[in-house]
Amino acid sequence: MRCAVIGLGMAVTPHAKSLVDLADRVEVVGAYSPTEARRNEFAKKFNLPVTSNLDGLIDDPSIDYAVLLTPPNARMELVRRLADAGKHILMEKPVERTTAAAEEIVAMAERAGLTLGIVLQHRFRTVAEQLASLVTGGTLGELAAVNIVVPWWRGQSYYDEPGRGTYERDGGGVLISQAIHTIDLALSLTGPVSEVVAVGGTTPIHRMESEDYVAAGLRFAGGAMGSLMATTSLYPGAPERIELLCSNATAALSPGGLTVAYHDGRVEETGEIQSSGGGADPMDFPHDAHRALHADFVDAIAAGRPPRVTGRDALTVHHFIDAVMTAARDGTRVRIPQP
């Protein structure tokens, strides 16, 4: 298949590495940025063609899909143009800055009959897939409680970049920009949340418009209780963690590592905890999960099936984040409508 890469900012590296690895299946026709310096920097790192001609990529009928890596505020018109051109889209999270805009993008792709995949790559980690198998197979028993912790660090220089951490460009702070990955993975394992209470805001550690700390109490639709803590103010940063407290065992999932402690005394450990970009370098993580996500997206187009993370799947996370931020802002218990 032939693809275009649109956007060569910080997020492009794991995608470029993945596309290089998949060169026997995917040909990158052009990698676009409006900034010459970014095109030059990208060309030095990767043996992939760059271009300043966005119109040429969109209008090229031989291109099957686009990898869209722009900031959220630059998505809507690009998605509209790509949909009009009949191109499938693999797009970085979040879908858009607001849930209403995200729903519009998802509907746009569906009306055009196009495949829309969202880059929520944590689901593709090997240990995450192993835990998903234990959950669906009933090995862990009934879900009783859930802990979701994202104890990350970002220095002030990260938020000094124009637009970063603003509602206008990013749509929010730690939840929609960082913790969205872990939240998506957790909800794929637990099922939906039905109600939340929360506190959140900006700590004195950062100068930024949106939140850098959120703590929430959760009630899941299946009856389990839970908690969420997400921050970018915990120096020097640590790996995120999902804990599932079940009737047969407790499963603790971190990047690259899974520990399952059964109530009969058995303990099973798989993998080894690895960096996840939770410290000063946001891109300090392996690209294995990105590569698996890209391969799945190509397979989905070829087979005419949905990718493993669709635009509509991502809307579940958007609705959850909306509920948490509303609960934190208003000091109320917020119920999340169930499908």
| pLDDT, tens digit, 9 for 90 and up, residues 257-273 | 999 999 999 999 999 87
Same-domain check for residues 135 and 233: yes
Give a yes or no: residue 182 inside a domain. yes
pLDDT at position 135 is 98
d(CA 145, CA 205): 31
pLDDT at position 281 is 80
Same-domain check for residues 251 and 162: yes
pLDDT digits (tens, 9 = 90+) for 14-68: 999 999 999 999 999 999 999 999 999 999 999 999 999 999 999 999 999 999 9
Same-domain check for residues 78 and 188: no
The mean pLDDT value for 284-302 works out to 95
Look-up of token digits 């990767």: 46
The pLDDT mean for the chain works out to 96
Q: Any idea what the CATH number is for the domain that residue 259 is in?
A: 3.30.360.10
pLDDT at position 272 is 84
Same-domain check for residues 47 and 152: no
Closest CA to 198 of 336, 95, 31: 336
Quote the number of domains for the chain.
Answer: 2
The mean pLDDT value for 170-184 works out to 98
Give a yes or no: residue 288 inside a domain. no
pLDDT at position 268 is 97
Give a yes or no: residue 47 inside a domain. yes
Same-domain check for residues 260 and 325: yes
Same-domain check for residues 36 and 117: yes
312 pLDDT above the threshold of 90? yes
Q: Any idea what the CATH number is for the domain that residue 93 is in?
A: 3.40.50.720
Give a yes or no: residue 86 inside a domain. yes
| pTM of the predicted model as reported, rounded to 2 decimal places | 0.96
Same-domain check for residues 72 and 206: no
pLDDT range class, residue 280, cuts 50, 70, 90 = confident
pLDDT at position 339 is 74
The mean pLDDT value for 217-227 works out to 97
Same-domain check for residues 135 and 277: yes
Closest CA to 54 of 24, 31, 26: 31
pLDDT at position 72 is 95
Indicate the SS3 state at residue 23: coil
Give a yes or no: residue 300 inside a domain. yes
Neighbouring C-beta atoms of residue 296, cutoff 10 Å:
18
Which domain does 170 fall in, by range?
123-282+314-335
* Peptide bond just before 236 cis, omega within 30 deg: yes
Same-domain check for residues 244 and 304: no
Same-domain check for residues 138 and 109: no
Burial 177-216 (b: 16+ CB within 10 A, else e): bbbbbbbbbbbbbbeebbebbbebebeebbebbbbbbbeb
Give a yes or no: residue 287 inside a domain. no
139 pLDDT above the threshold of 90? yes
